[in-house]
Amino acid sequence: MDETPILIDRQGDVAWLRLNIAQRLNPLAQPLQQAMREQLAVLREDRSVRALVITGQGKAFCVGADLGSMQTPSGQSLGQQTADVMESLSNPLIEDIQSLPFPVVSAVNGPCAGAGVGLALAADLVVAAQSAYFYWPFMPRLGIVPDLGSTWFLLRSVGRARAVGLSLLGERLSAQQAQDWGLIWRCVEDTQLTQLAQTLAVRLAQLPAHAAQEIRRSFDHAESATLSEQLSYEASRQRELIDRPEFAEGVRAFLEKRDPKFAPR
């Protein structure tokens, strides 16, 4: 691979991670996935980073699996090899994103297909350019199920009927429709995407240091909890969080009629 598979740069306390196999529309090649995991580990330990934006270089966000590089190894089926890579590399990548100690924005700048959709939806907020679309070709084109979390994210975002329809029919979902269906936060004109992503990331960077992890855990818990169980969970979190300095700062800011200023992580 001639390109550096990802690019990292900083805009203040916001980091940008760009998929950088642009000539092939940013497929999830193994070197790219490995580079992402390595860089996410670095960002996780960098306490000056308070938010992350993931996007693609060139015309696409990510077109999914690098099908052209898939070869059957001797002594192992292609299915077994693929599952091994998913369990050792691809799935941990999604979990890496979901467990980052700061908020993550996906800025979908163009086509987002296959496993690339799972990558995009792993972020806390997803924004997309008007020309972008989301596409799940797994079953209608390849006879396999959506992966990298797509079935999990889709079901919880758009409901079973739409999740099953998108997976079986393989219809492209426009960015506008994705916004209307609640799959993404917002879609904007192509020229506005970068600014929107940066603006949102800057806002997210001002949140309490524990904001992303607490909100993720709260809604994950709510997915399988009864109302009584969730009420109890909320009370248990308030028991701890109200005693933290962030709450005290928030109360002071309210009384002083100013915005709160939370300490970095």
Q: State the average pLDDT over residues 12-19.
A: 97
Amino acid at 119: L
Residues 13, 49: contact at Cβ < 8 Å?
yes
Work out the burial of residue 58: count CB atoms within 10 Å of its CB; fewer than 13 is exposed, 13-18 middle, 19 or more buried: middle
pLDDT tens for 199-247 read: 999 999 999 999 999 999 999 999 999 999 999 999 999 999 999 999 9
| Torsion on CA atoms 90, 132, 187, 200, rounded to nearest 10 | 50
Angle at 41 between CA 40 and CA 46, to 5 degrees: 90
pLDDT at 216: 96
pLDDT at 1 over 50: no
Lowest mean pLDDT among 34-38, 64-68, 148-152, 156-160: 64-68
pLDDT class of 110 with cuts at 50, 70, 90: very high
Within 10 angstroms of residue 263's Cβ, the number of other Cβ atoms is: 9
Amino acid at 82: T
E strand intervals along 101-196: 104-108, 112-113, 125-129, 133-135, 173-174, 186-188
pLDDT class of 74 with cuts at 50, 70, 90: low
| Residues ≥6 apart with Cβ < 8 Å to 193 | 107, 109, 127, 128, 129
Residue 112 bridge partners (DSSP): 62, 134
pLDDT at 71 over 80: no
pLDDT at 108 over 80: yes
Lowest mean pLDDT among 56-70, 73-87, 190-204: 73-87
Give the pairing of strands 173-174 and 133-135.
Answer: antiparallel
pLDDT at 69: 79
| Longest alpha-carbon distance in the chain | 69
Tell me the pTM. Answer: 0.95
pLDDT tens for 119-149 read: 999 999 999 999 999 999 999 999 999 999 9
Q: Is 65 helix (H, G, I), strand (E, B) or coil?
A: strand
Proportion of the chain above pLDDT 90, given as a percent: 92
